[in-house]
């Protein structure tokens, strides 16, 4: 697919764009095309005029993702600064761009004296990813704070979806395939900025103490099965520190995989599958991936 076959854009379109620098694991192949739209109209126009057979994938901060070494076919859409604005709508509601980070959302909530959004401080991603995956941590989930979201569908049409229409479950939504979240409304409750900051500090310190934040990692690897904690199942199966190639199960938190330096995405994924195999053998529990695995095997 040549650039001549693609719709004209006002933003930036890059062929064979390396994705490793854009994801937390710092591994993986290239996007056939990387599109960074100028604004929502640019995104809508591009998708409306793009061959419907061309696959489209949204990329946020790349924290909860393995990009396979063969790269991602079609178009990867990355929302930039135009989609990263956060502003109060009323005394307890924020309007958040799909590209806004959890840190920006929680900090803006604090400044607006809105409590209940502090947990977003601990999720290393963007609003679009939170909405898609029902992001959660430290007792909060997106389904508890989301009012509605605006999405651009694969055909370029814009739609508004209520929290009920997303049919949320644990780390899952029924967001339509190919839909890209461009904005969302989060509702909290009235609070004191100093108390909100104290809770954000508590969460930040807890993460720092328990998670390998200084490593090349992808966040929580496996979903917590009903009645169990994934890290404990992994630990009990003897996987703490387990290594394949340059990929290792974190010694600090066993539900995190880390790239020790030169891991391929194949190493990381193979390690995850070996962990799943060992947990099944030990406990009979089939761990499910929480991390998205995208693209083609090399």
- Please indicate whether residue 192 is annotated as part of the active site: no
| Whole-number Å distance between alpha carbons of 249 and 260 | 10
H-helix or E-strand containing 34?
A: strand 30-36
d(CA 33, CA 56): 10
| Core vs surface per residue 253-273: b (16+ CB within 10 A) or e | bbbbbbbeeebbbbbbbebbe
Q: How many helices (H) and strands (E) does the chain have?
A: 7, 19
The single residue of 101, 107, 220, 265 carrying the catalytic annotation is 220
290 is catalytic: yes
For residue 81, give the DSSP letter.
G
| Catalytic residue selected from 68, 110, 171, 278 | 171
Specify the DSSP element, H or E, that contains 36: strand 30-36
The question of whether 276 is a catalytic residue gets the answer no
**Could you list the active site residues?**
171, 220, 290
């Amino acid at each position: 697919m040549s650039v001549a076959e693609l719709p004209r854009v006002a933003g930036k379109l890059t062929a064979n764009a390396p994705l490793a620098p854009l994801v937390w694991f710092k591994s993986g192949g290239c996007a056939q095309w990387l599109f960074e739209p100028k604004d929502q109209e640019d995104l809508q126009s591009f998708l409306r005029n793009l061959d419907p057979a061309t696959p489209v994938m949204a990329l946020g901060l790349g924290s909860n993702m393995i990009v396979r070494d063969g790269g991602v076919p079609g178009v990867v859409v990355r929302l930039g600064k135009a989609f990263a604005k956060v502003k109060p709508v009323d005394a307890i509601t924020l309007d958040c761009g799909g590209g806004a980070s959890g840190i920006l959302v929680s900090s803006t909530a604090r400044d607006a004296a809105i409590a209940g959004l502090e947990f977003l401080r601990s999720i290393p991603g963007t609003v679009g990813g939170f909405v898609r995956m029902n992001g959660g941590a430290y007792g909060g989930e997106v389904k508890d704070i989301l009012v509605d979201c605006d999405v651009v569908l694969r055909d370029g049409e814009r739609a508004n979806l209520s929290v009920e229409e997303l049919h949320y479950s644990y780390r899952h939504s029924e967001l339509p395939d190919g839909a890209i979240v461009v904005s969302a409304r989060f509702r909290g409750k009235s609070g004191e900025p100093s108390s909100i900051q104290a809770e954000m500090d508590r969460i930040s310190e807890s993460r720092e103490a328990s998670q390998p934040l200084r490593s090349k990692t992808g966040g929580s690897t496996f979903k917590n099965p009903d009645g169990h904690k994934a890290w404990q199942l992994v630990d009990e199966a003897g996987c703490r520190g387990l290594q394949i190639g340059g990929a290792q199960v974190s010694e600090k938190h066993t539900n995190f995989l880390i790239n020790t330096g030169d891991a391929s995405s194949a190493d990381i994924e193979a390690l995850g599958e070996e962990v799943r195999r060992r947990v099944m053998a030990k406990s009979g529990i089939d761990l499910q991936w929480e991390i998205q695995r995208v693209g083609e095997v090399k």
